[in-house]
Homo-oligomer: A and B are copies of this chain.
């Protein structure tokens, strides 16, 4: 019988604590903000101990990224497995994406910070592949749904427009929107006090623009999305503080 000794457990737990704290530090001070010294101090361990878990600073940062992207991929997968017509399943992905940034804003911010900084040179090809793989899974999931939509005749893409092109549009919109929200308070200054409903609307209008059935005018997507929340992300939703 293999029980985990308390000692072993502590070590495992510490890894999470390291990442948790590291994320806060990156969040508040960027790449600079992550200091191995203060990280160790605040964790109550010695600098050397950190190096038993990660062989260098960049590894920690990479780990943050992997954690974040895995989390999102999991949510995407759950959303994609929702048994409904393609457009609703796409809405489910939208719900997943939104819940992700709203429940884990730190993850999202840190992801952006890390991506913009160039740690990549110092990392191994395989690591990069792992991260990219995660990203591609997310993209692939969405692409699958779009292809379903096309296959089922719910949408007909114009000449020269691929499924991936539409996926790119969805990705752009969410990435851009959440990024703008996270980076500046420009949205509030624009007078948009509830940006998330606005984002949903914009996405749906784009799909409408492609003629994807049923159109927004034909179906109550707001209601549909609330149902998705209930069916798939009840637990996550419960943790959401602000109004949907």
Contacts and interface: CB of A to CB of B under 8 A. Distances in A.
A28 B118 CA distance: 7
A158 B198 CA distance: 11
A133 to B, nearest CB: 11
Contacts of A30: 31, 116-118
A9 interface: no
Interface stretch (A10-18, A79-87, A178-186, A224-232): A178-186
Most buried by B among A115, A132, A166, A190: A190
B118 A183 contact: no
Nearest to A176: B176
Interface residues of A, number: 59
B180 A179 contact: no
Interface string A189-224: 111100101110110111111100000100000000
What's the dominant secondary structure at chain A's contact region?
A: helix
Contact of A177 (B29, B31, B172, B209): B172
B184 A168 contact: no
Given A173-B176, A209-B208, A202 B165 contact: yes
B173 A173 contact: yes
Contacts of A177: 168-169, 172, 176
B192 A162 contact: yes
A136 interface: yes
A179 B177 CA distance: 11
30 contacts: A29-B121, A30-B31, A30-B117, A33-B118, A113-B117, A116-B116, A116-B183, A132-B186, A143-B190, A158-B201, A160-B197, A161-B198, A164-B190, A166-B202, A168-B187, A168-B202, A169-B198, A169-B199, A169-B201, A169-B202, A172-B199, A173-B173, A173-B176, A173-B202, A175-B176, A175-B180, A176-B176, A176-B177, A176-B179, A179-B179
